[in-house]
Structure formats: structure tokens, C-alpha cells
Structure 1
Amino acid sequence: MAMIVAFALAVHYPARPATDDALRFIAALEHFSLVAQQPHFPGYPGLVWLADWLHGMGLEGFAAFRTLSLAGHALTAVLATALVHRATGRESVAWATGFLVLSQPLGIHTALSGLSDAPGNACLVAALYACVRRRYRAAAWLIGFGVIVRPGLGLIWLYLAAQTWLSSEGRRAAIVAGVVALPLFGLAFMWSRDGMALLGTSLTFLRGHFLIWGSPWGDMGERLGWFTSLSRFGWEGALLGILVVSPFVFHPPWRAERHIRPIGVAWCLVSVWTLLAQNPENLRHLLPPLTLSMIWIGVHAPLTTQALTLVRITFTLVTVSTAPRLPAVVQAAEALSEKPSGVLINRHQSRLLQRTLPSWHHVDPYYSGEHAWALHRSLPVWHLLNRTPSDAIDVTYFEPRWLGDTPLYLSPASIKSIRSSASTAP
């Protein structure tokens, strides 16, 4: 059933890259280099290897990554079903949890994005399932594979590795080998492509992530918190926020039975890491804590899970039938392509728009501001924002495809709007 849903999503939605990161992954199939941002740090070598294998079988670049992402989302639902069944022994609750994971909109959004979130989420749930079943050697290899598919969950991989080490009895050398073998192979692969330059690229990326654009505390993110980001999506954003923190309400993780405690601890760690160290602009970062939260609810609140599943499936079917088939940024690019070439002031997926609109002048107001705009003032100037412009009259709204897809607003630019864009978060 999960694979049928994934296939239906692949057929219904066109395979169109909608993020700069997706373009970087596609470029990595031709030439893998972190220095050239193909892809960006930390490299995701496992994901690129799998996509390269599919690419060699005839799939186009983005289609290969999206196939992996859709398969990862479907596999996450299957593993969530198995995990809840293992913990509760109740088949109906396990199926309800699986359908809830499969139909929740943030998961569908990330599955269609072609990025590493859905495959990494599948690795996380698979490793937890192996831990709960006490298959520690299998868990070790799944952890190692998860590190090279989704390195951004490093804190969780460290916890699961420690949990596997402490829980296993004897033959711990096999545990160590499983955890470190694939990451070392991935590191050797990246080093063979970039050499010593890999160190400088890594430090530059980490500095940018934590100090400029990648966390709620950076220079470009200090005015955009998770509450603001969730509030853009109305009641769906509110429900998402409630679901992420719901384990505290239904059953605090520290009170859990020992055999399922790793699920609760993993939820705590990934929630703290996401809320404090991830960019609130991208709701897809909430996928791991959201998935673990739904599994936790399935284990401790079966009736709530079944009710949520019925409601969620209903709204998912409505969304599929009414929401646009293209992401908001692709809708905006198509609308701009019909206008005379001019200046586009924008921060959202700038690399993608530069590739889609090569005849346009592209300006990032955070770095260039009104000076760059003034250089081209004889041309029509448009402003693409992810919030409603405060002073614009003629505004075109591009509806998000799913929860997590950023809504966008296109309007004629003014000096006031440029200054506003340069002084606030993206």
C-alpha cells in the first residue's frame, strides 16, 4: 500500500526540482565536489551513490533523487507500522500509525522534494526498529548507512551508536565496524574528490550554518523563529507544532518502558537539535521529530492515533485534489517567464531562479540592497517574497503545494520594500 501511494504521488506530481539543494544534488551526479557545492557540506555520499545507480539505470537526475525520496517516505510508514506493532502487539493501532505517517503533508512534501530528508528519516526509524528488536549488529550498519545518507542527524546517530554499544552483549567489534565502516568509506570518497580543500569548505559551511543563515540565532535568521514559520500555514502549522511536542502530553519519554525508551530519547534529542540548530525557514527539518512523535502517540494513545489518522487521510485527499501540482517557486518562475526580462529581487531559491530565468538580472538584497537595484532601474523590477508585502498594491500569490512548501508573493519593487527585505529574515 505504501509503495502504491508513493507511485501515485510520482505520477500525479511532475518531477521538477524546486530548491537550490536539488540542483546541487543533480550536479553531483556529473561531478561530486563539496568545494563546488555539488552537493553542499556534509556531502550526503550515500544518497548520491544510490541516485547515481538509478541514474545509470536510465532515470533522469532529479527523477533518481525523487524516486529515492518517495521510496524512503513509503519505507518510513512501513517501519513505523512494524515498530508500533512490536511495541503494542495491536495490529489496528500499528496500521493506523503507518497510515498517519504516510499521509501527513510534511512527509509528502519532503518525499516530493528529492532531498535527503525522507531517506534519512527511513534510516532513523529502521535503526530504532532494529534496536527495539535487539538486532544490534543490524542497527549498527543502519546507523552507519544513515550517517552517509543524512549526516545532519549526527547527534541522533551518536546516541543510537552509544545505545547499541551499551545494549549489545559481546562481539562489540562488530558493532564498531558496522557504525564506522560506511562513514569512513564516504569520508575517503569525499577526500579523494577535494583533498585538503574539504577542510576549509567544511569550516566555512559550519560557520555559515550556525552564525549566519542556518539556525534561529544567525544573522539572517534571528527574526524568524519556529512559531513564525509555523504560523504561515494556519491551522495546519498549529497542528504540526502540537504533534511535534505531543509526547510530553501523552507519555513523557523518561517514564517509558525500557525496551521502547530509545524512541523517546531519540525524539527528545532530535527535537532539541531541530529547534535550536536548524533553519526555521525550512519546515522539512521537523520531519524526524514529527515522525517519532506520531510513533510515540501510536504506542501510548491508540484511540487518539486512530482518530488522527481518519482526519489526516481525509484532508490529504482534499489537498491532492485541490492544491497546485507545482511548488510555489516553480509557479513563480513560470509567471515571470511570461513577463519582459527585468530585475528580480529575491532570496528564495535564487540559484534555481537564475537557471530558470537566465535573461533576468537577479539581486539578493541582503548583500546588494538598493544599490544593485539602482544599476538596473531602467528595467522593470519585481520583488519575490515569502511574506505579504506591506506596501505593494499589485500582488500575485503563489499557493504552496503541501505543508512545508514556502508560499510566495510577487509584486513590483520599491525602495521601501527593498530596504524591508534587506533588514528582515528571508
Structure 2
Amino acid sequence: MTSRAFAGALALLVGAGGAARLLALPRLLPDLDAVNFARSLNGFDLAAQAPHFPGYPVYVAMARLASAAGASEVVALALPGLVLGVVAIGALGLVLRPYLGAVGALVAAVLLALLPLPVLFGATPGSDGTGLALLVLAACAVLVAGDSAPRVAVLAGVLAGVALGARPSFLPALLGLALVVPRGRRLAALAGGGLGVGGWLVPLVALTGPAELLRIGSGFLLGHAGKWGGTVAVRPELGWRLENFGFDILAAGLGLPWPGVDGDSVAVLAARLLLALGLAGALVALAHAALRESLSASEHRVTLLALALGVPYGAWMFLGQNLLKARHALPVVLALALLVAVGVAVLARACPSRVSLSLVGAVAVSTAAVMLPVGLEQGREPSPAARLVAHVSSTLSPSGTLLFTGEEARLFEHYVPYFRAGRPASGEQLRREVERVAAAGADVYVTSTAPGAEALAPHLEPVSRFACDRRVRSHAHDIVLFHYRPAPPASSEKVL
């Protein structure tokens, strides 16, 4: 493929990735995290969860710039991830071409541009898309650091440090990248990392105060690790973790078929199966070449890079993250995309150029086909939580009505603050509060996401259901609104 043809194909993929993200741009804030980020647009305050710890200062700074330029809150929060995501697609293709050839580089760009998870969270009003894009750029800089001047290693460190300020939970992936920095460039990369981290850590400490930052951070980390964060300490069941880990990566991340998830048309299901075969074939080709030690030096380098960022992060995701939220799989999906690109490059060396280019086309078509339904659903339909808020505000009176719910309470506070919506800390607190306010004459509603709601089942009458494809929102994708009916007072018989 000529340089001009490659540039044209890559430009087409960059445009397709940007268009896909625009299609997936939601109309309303979808959840608690998005509301917390929206609150930070008017004032950065960790103590008030504007946003919540660890603050994501790099992402918030970018979003505030977009807001100051006149963007709406949803657009301002989505714009950093969308713009940087498009930049990352182009950078990945350009950087990988000398290492994997035109075909391998284009496949990597296709997957980053069109896989469901990067598209959905590249358009979501949150920090995930920004963090992923900066992780891609840091990985690109690390890859070329050994073949370039020391300043490229400094740039790699700076990008890694900035990525940490946009998405701190990506730390294991960034540390993995540090392992593959060439030995002669490590000091330069370390200096760059210090600059990148210092650029956001110093303002964060100055704004919050050292003692207050320590207090907020320790409280958050203790809660995340042992109470509500969904870590292995909170949800230790191996079967549960394996099922959700697999779903997050394979179904939500790559768009592959998954048991119990249906609703696809025949064409989309066929595309999922075709994509599964293509990705599996590329990985088998990579494994075969690695076992035969026939990988080229450049292919071996990209493979090591993918494993270095994917394996440590994958372990952290499995043990230390809430697996109900598929967004945590983004670095693993990136690592798999790089491995697939290497596998395709191996296959391309053994195929005529026309066949190799057809591989790129097949991957692009099948990936776009599995991405479009979920992308369009996210862009057209508000999240179940947002639809719950809209339904309540349009059908119920705020006077005398009390709601008990989960994370959706923050959406009520943001969009309809005149409704009283509480988020109980435990099932026991939910039971006590519901019984108390119901006895006082309040009209009580409870959602299925309220902690311990199942214990009230005999008194809950379903009112409405708000659901979406689990691949669009793996967390809180099915919310039921119930009307609480107190038990009638016990009848007493008059003894004669």
C-alpha cells in the first residue's frame, strides 16, 4: 500500500471514529459520576464530591475549558474524550505502520475507532474516554522512544503522568508501560513522568489542602476497598467475578456474542460471530508465530507493549474494580486490539496484498456493525436512571412524595431538586426509613437499585420499568420503580 493510500485509509478511519462517537453522544447526564463531574464545571471541590476523589484534575480542567467556551454540560464533559479519542486513532495508525506494516496498523486503528466500548465511553460525559486516549498516546510514545531522541522518552513520561491525572485507576497499565521503556531512556521517561504528574498534583494539593486531601483520599480508598467499591473484598464470589469479567471484556468491550444477552437482528448476530472468528484467528496466528519464534523484532516489541499494559491492569481490574461497570475494561480492550493487530500483521506477511486489505475491510465492517446498535441506543435513549427521573417528575407530585433509590439520587438532586430522593446506606436503614415516613402519611416509592429493596418485596407494587441493552450500560441497566404499600393494621376481634 502506498503512503498516500495509507494516509487516505487512516483519515477515513479517524473520521469514522469521530462520527461514531458523535452518534453515541448522550442527550442527558447518565449517572452519579457524570453529575459529580458536571458539578465540578462550576467549582472544583473534592469535599463536596465536585467531583468525587481522586478528582481527575486533568480531565476536569479540559472539560472546564470546553464549558467556558460555551459548551453545554454534557458536551463539555464529553468533548475531551471525543477530541483526544480521534487524535489517538490517527496517532496509533501512524506509529504502528513501521512496526506492523500498513495492514496491521490499519486494523489497530479500526478497532480503536469502532469497537463498542471505546466508542461508548469516548462519547460519555466522564473521564474514561480522555484517560483511554492519553493511555494510547503514552503507549505510542513508549513504543518509539527507543528509536528516537531522548526527548521522545520525556514526552512518553509526560503523557503517562498526564494520563494518570485524567484516569488514576489506569495506574497499573501505566506502570506496565514503564517496564518496556528502553533501558537507555528510562531516566528521561522518569523525568517526563515527574513533570506530567507535577503539573496536576501541585494544583490539586494547593486547591484542596494537604491535610484535607489526605483525609478525603483515605476515606475514599477505605470505602472503595472494603465497603462499596465492588472489589474482591466486597464481592469475593469467583463465579460472579469471572462472569462479569468476561462480559465486560468480550461482550461489552469487543461486541462478541454472550449467553443471555439477546435482541440482535440476524445481521448483527452474524457480524458478532464474524468478528469473533476474525479476532480469534488473529490471536491464534500471533500465538503460533510466537511459539515458532517467527515474530519479527518489531512485532515482538508491539506484543510486549500490549502485554505490559494489559496483564497488570487486567489483574487489577479483576481484583480491585467494580466488575458491574464495563468501562473498567478499556485498557484490556486496548491491549487485545494491539495483539489482534500483530496477529493480522503476521497473517498479512503470508497473504497477497489484495487478501490482506480484504482482512482490514472485513474487520472494519463487522466491528462497525456490532458497534452501531449500542452506539445509537446510547445517543438516542437516555440512560435508565435519567428516564426514571423524567418519569417521576412528569407523573408524580413532589408534595408528599418520597423516593428511596440508589445512585440515581444524585440525578434527582441535579435535575429535579424539588423531589425528595434519598439513597439509604444499607437495607436496614431503608426498612426503618420507609416504615417511618409511610407511617407519617408520605407517598413512598422505592427503586430496585435501593440497597436492600428486595427485603420489602411483599409491600412493593411495580409501577414502571426502565431498561437498556446490558452492553450499553452494564451497571444499572434495568431499574424498576415500585410503589410502597404498607401492611394493613392487624384486625382485632372483639371478645364477647
Over 3 Å counting, the alpha-carbon distance change for 1:211 and 1:401 in structure 2 is closer
Partner of 2:367: 312
Code of the residue aligned with 2:408 in structure 1: it is: Q
Separation of aligned partners in 1, 2:344 and 2:63: 38
User: Which range is displaced more, 114-123 or 321-330?
Assistant: 321-330
What is the CA deviation profile of residues 28-70 of structure 1, one whole-angstrom value per residue up to 9, with x for unaligned ones?
A: 2322222222222222111122222222322234322211121
Mapped partners of 2:129, 2:416: distance in 1:
29
- C-alpha deviation, 1:248, in angstroms: 7.6
Answer whether contact 1:140 1:164 (CA < 8 A) is retained: no
Normalised to the residue count of structure 2, the TM-score between the two structures is 0.72
Preserved contact between residue 445 and residue 481 of structure 2 (Cα < 8 Å): yes
1:354 to 390, 410, 413: 413
- 1: distance between equivalents of 2:72 and 2:462? 41
Q: Is the 8 A contact 1:396 1:410 kept in 2?
A: yes
**Separation in 2, partners of 1:384, 1:234:** 30
C-alpha change, 1:175 and 1:216, in structure 2 (3 Å) is closer
1:103 pairs with 2:166: no
Give the counterpart letter for 1:109 in structure 2.
Answer: L
2:226 paired with 1:157: no
| Range with bigger deviation, 10-19 or 294-303 | 10-19
Deviation at 1:209, TM superposition (A): 1.1
Partners of 1:296 and 1:36 in 2: CA distance: 42
Residue 445 (structure 2) pairs with residue 382 (structure 1)? yes
- State whether residues 96 and 105 of structure 2, in contact with CA within 8 Å, keep that contact through their aligned partners in structure 1: yes
Unaligned runs of 5+ in 2: 1-11, 146-151, 259-274, 348-358, 487-496
Matched with 1:423 is: none
- Is the CA contact (8 Å cut-off) linking 1:97 and 1:305 kept in structure 2? no
Deviation per residue, 1:68-109 (Å, 9 max, x gap):
1212332333334335433311x2343233223222222222
Closer/same/farther in 2, CA of residues 197 and 402 from structure 1, 3 Å limit: same
SS of match in other structure, 1:30: coil
1:65–1:319 distance in 2 versus 1, CA, 3 Å: closer
- Whole-angstrom distance in 2 between the partners of 1:150 and 1:233: 19
CA contact (8 A) 1:93 1:298 kept: yes
8 A Cα contact 2:377 2:472, kept in partner: no
Matched, 1:340 2:396: yes
SS of structure 1 residue aligned to 2:110: helix
Report the equivalent of 1:289: 332
Give 3-state SS (helix, strand or coil) of 2:403's partner: strand
CA RMSD of superposed structures (Å): 3.6
Residues 186-225 of structure 1, C-alpha deviation per residue, up to 9 Å, x if partnerless? 2211111121111111111111111112233244x45663
| Percent of aligned pairs with the same amino acid | 20
- The alpha carbon displacement at 1:236 in A equals 5.5
Determine the C-alpha separation between the residues in 2 that align with 1:382 and 1:358.
16
Q: TM-score, normalised by structure 1?
A: 0.83
Question: Partner of 1:137: helix, strand, or coil?
Answer: helix
Amino acid at match of 1:360: F
Return the letter of the residue paired with 1:292. A
- The separation in 1 between residues aligned to 2:315 and 2:361, in whole angstroms, is 27
Tell me the matched-pair count. Answer: 410
- Say whether residues 1:403 and 2:472 are aligned partners: yes
1:176 to 183, 187, 190: 190
Shift in alpha-carbon separation, 1:163–1:299, aligned structure 2, 3 A: closer
The code of the aligned residue for 2:178 comes to A
Task: For residue 344 of structure 1, give the secondary structure of its aligned residue in structure 2.
Answer: strand
1:121 paired with 2:132, answer: yes
CA contact (8 A) 1:161 1:179 kept: no
1:6 partnered with 2:18: yes
- Greater shift after overlay, 386-395 or 376-385? 386-395
Q: Any residues of structure 2 matched to 1:17-416 within 5 Å, and which?
A: 17-89=29-101, 91-134=102-145, 135-164=152-181, 166-168=183-185, 172=187, 174-195=188-209, 196-219=211-234, 221-222=235-236, 225=241, 227-228=243-244, 239=256, 251=286, 258-260=300-302, 261-301=304-344, 307-320=362-375, 324-341=380-397, 342-367=401-426, 368-377=429-438, 378-385=441-448, 394-400=463-469, 403-404=472-473, 406=475, 407-413=477-483
Q: Is the 8 A contact 2:16 2:113 kept in 1?
A: no
Distance 1:365 1:144, change over 3 A: closer
Larger radius of gyration: 2
| Cα distance, 1:9–1:187 mapped onto 2, change above 3 Å | closer
Q: Is the 8 Å Cα contact of residues 180 and 308 (structure 2) preserved in structure 1?
A: no
Residue aligned with 2:220, SS: helix
Question: 2:446, 2:483 within 8 Å by CA — same for their partners in 1?
Answer: yes
C-alpha contact (below 8 Å) 2:286/2:342 kept by paired residues = no
SS of the equivalent of 1:146 reads helix
In structure 1, the gaps of 5 or more residues are: 417-426
